[in-house]
Amino acid sequence: MREEKLRSYLEKECSGRRNAVKSFELEQALLLSSSELRKLINRLREKGIPIGSGPNGYFYARTAGEVYSTVRQLRKIVKGTERAIHGLEQSLDGFSVGGECHR
């Protein structure tokens, strides 16, 4: 139900990048927390609903270019997360057998 409400709202009120809306505004309009909104956005995207995002917020993508731009943005986030994971894994070398960090 909440997914459909969000999808419908974005499709009607936020169609295309020019009509993007900040997450705070969506949270207020749909009475969602920020974590709920992110989870719903991800679920819709997983189902193939073209929810775009950018500096101006979320929107219902109307062109392949808008979708592709969002995909590029998400790939950058994934790469940054992978670098953070790698750094944390490297930090494990600084721990003793007892579990204390010696750096």
CATH of the domain at 82: 1.10.10.10
Q: Is residue 98 part of a domain?
A: no
Instruction: Name the burial class of residue 4, with classes exposed (0-12), middle (13-18) and buried (19+) by CB atoms within 10 angstroms of its CB.
Output: exposed
Instruction: Say if 103 falls within a structural domain.
Output: no
By the 8 A CB rule, do 38 and 73 touch?
A: no
Q: Is residue 41 part of a domain?
A: yes
| Averaged pLDDT, 39-47 | 97
Q: Element (H or E) spanning 27, and its range?
A: helix 23-30
In terms of phi and psi (left: phi > 0; alpha: psi -120 to 50; beta: otherwise), the region of 15 is: beta
Say if 35 falls within a structural domain: yes
Q: Is residue 20 part of a domain?
A: yes
Residue 99: inside a domain, yes or no? no
Average pLDDT (46-56) is 96
Half-sphere exposure of 25 (CA within 13 A, CB side): 12
Q: At residue 19, does pLDDT exceed 90? A: yes
- Interval 66-88 mean pLDDT: 96
What's the whole-number mean pLDDT along residues 2-28?
Answer: 96
Q: What angle do CA 99, 102, 103 make, to 5 degrees?
A: 130
Q: What share of the chain in percent tops pLDDT 70?
A: 94
Does 101 fall in a domain?
no
Domain that holds residue 6: 2-93
Over 70: is that where the pLDDT of 103 sits? no
Instruction: Report the predicted TM-score, pTM, of the whole model to 2 decimal places.
Output: 0.84
Angle (nearest 5°) at CA 33 between 8 and 63:
35
In a domain, 102, yes or no: no
The total domain count for the chain is 1
